[in-house]
Structure 1
């Protein structure tokens, strides 16, 4: 049976993606969820229950598998009302030492993965056209919501490779917000600030001993400043309801972006200081 109340959520095994899937289900949507982590994905499906239409483990960097999955979702359940693409990875490191394979992995998952999801779900939404009549009042417009990162906006230390992957997503969405408007599809770019997900505890910082006391202290400071995945998902949902294009999850990102444009000397000073702080943390934490 085709379902006009279906939304697709990627990265749903944990963190922001899991909380978005749960909250969307609580709002009455039926969800098709995916993640590369099958165990975590099935746990999310169990928590949500009957509102889950599909829970398929998927590597979004695999173009062929994403195409097969996307076609099956549309054939079996119909055109998605909305797509929430959250799945991604994070790795940091100095441009001097970070190996090429990590640059490629970030691009394959974060940028190409987003492209694969968009290419295999959004055209069906375009073909279906704008939602009209009573359904428009009940459901609202179709939406493409992609989680990028504040690292795609701000010059954060050690983020060159990660920022390249997320900045590409933001640039693509800036085009799609206009390209898809005539098809009745609203586009939302999410640039989270500090979010206390499991990724924080397991993040790959190339060449750095994460058991080092300075690194552990820095992580605790970050977690104390970060919002929870559930809170982040609430902020995203609120921004979507308000039809905001760029959705940030903390005042620090808004302030950084404003300073970048309006007070570049202040922005430069703040980011220079942050870079020095990162260098201090890494000073005795480099792996031999």
Structure 2
């Protein structure tokens, strides 16, 4: 991307998928504006971006659940550098829990950060991208069209156990992207919805499973099995960026999610059986670990 003045925005850049997306974009010469709520992690990513020879136009601590903070960041970037070429909104949190015990504030946190955080990013960055219009053909051959990339989750598609609140927040992101892919097309903006499966990020080690003792041996064993199935964040970022380059709308990071999505429509009995089995296994793991 060297030789252009376009820049990409990446949220959640302090760790996990967001960090890897930022670094892999840096490796191919993108100018970058990065954010996260984690100051130390963001500073480390910023240093690494510059160490790889990419231009870091901005690194700002931003809470995406705060619309004023997101608006101020987007306004400052647009004033200094013009409309963003690509927005990779990766930042989010994960909390699981039973609907009969999970506190309302945890539901609200998921909605405020995952869903409303995406709304805030769209409202803050997309209008300037719309106003800027399609990238000229000569430049588009080098950098592609303007893009909005939103990371949802496989939990926004399939019925994973104890994911009701998390799935509500991520399913809303998918539904919004489904509309925006058509609403923004006349402005030359491609929309990409990402539904990762199991990814071995920091969230795996810190995830809040409400009401469950995560030191319990069964829970620890289940976590180890999950990590064994999960792909590294770097591989997840590779899949995302490859899907974006190929103009793929829905980007999944594993064949299991694509198969589950297919089964929902084409083999509902198989899908119900598989999801029921996963739910029973989850209850067995949590049986002796309830707080």
Task: Place the TM-score, normalised by the shorter chain, in its bin.
Answer: over 0.9
Q: Is the 8 A contact 1:4 1:80 kept in 2?
A: no
TM-score normalised according to structure 1 size:
0.98
CA offset at residue 132 of structure 1?
Answer: 1.6
Count of matched residue pairs: 285
Taking the TM superposition and a 5 Å limit, the aligned residue runs for 1:80-229 are: 80-229=84-233
| CA RMSD, Structure 1 to Structure 2 (Å) | 0.7
Question: Who is 1:7 aligned against?
Answer: 8
Q: Does the aligned pair in 1 maintain the 2:46–2:59 contact within 8 Å?
A: yes
Q: Is the 8 A contact 1:107 1:165 kept in 2?
A: yes
Q: Secondary structure at the match of 2:8?
A: strand
SS at match of 2:33: strand
2:248, 2:272 → 1: CA distance? 27
Structure 2 counterpart of 1:251, from 255, 265, 284 = 255
3-state SS of paired residue (2:32): strand
The Cα of 1:52 is off from its aligned counterpart by 1.3
Aligned to 1:17: 18
The CA distance in 2 between the partners of 1:278 and 1:86, in whole Å, is 27
1:233 counterpart (231, 237, 245): 237
Structure-2 residue corresponding to 1:47: 48
Contact 1:4–1:78 at 8 Å: present in 2 too? no
User: In the TM superposition, what is the alpha-carbon distance from 1:133 to its structure 2 partner?
Assistant: 2.7
Q: Please give the alpha-carbon distance, in whole angstroms, between the structure 2 residues aligned to 1:224 and 1:197.
A: 12
Q: Secondary structure at the match of 1:209?
A: coil
Gaps of 5+ in 1: none
TM-score w.r.t. the length of structure 2 is 0.97
Deviation for aligned residue 1:210: 0.4
Q: Is the deviation greater in 74-83 or in 188-197? A: 74-83
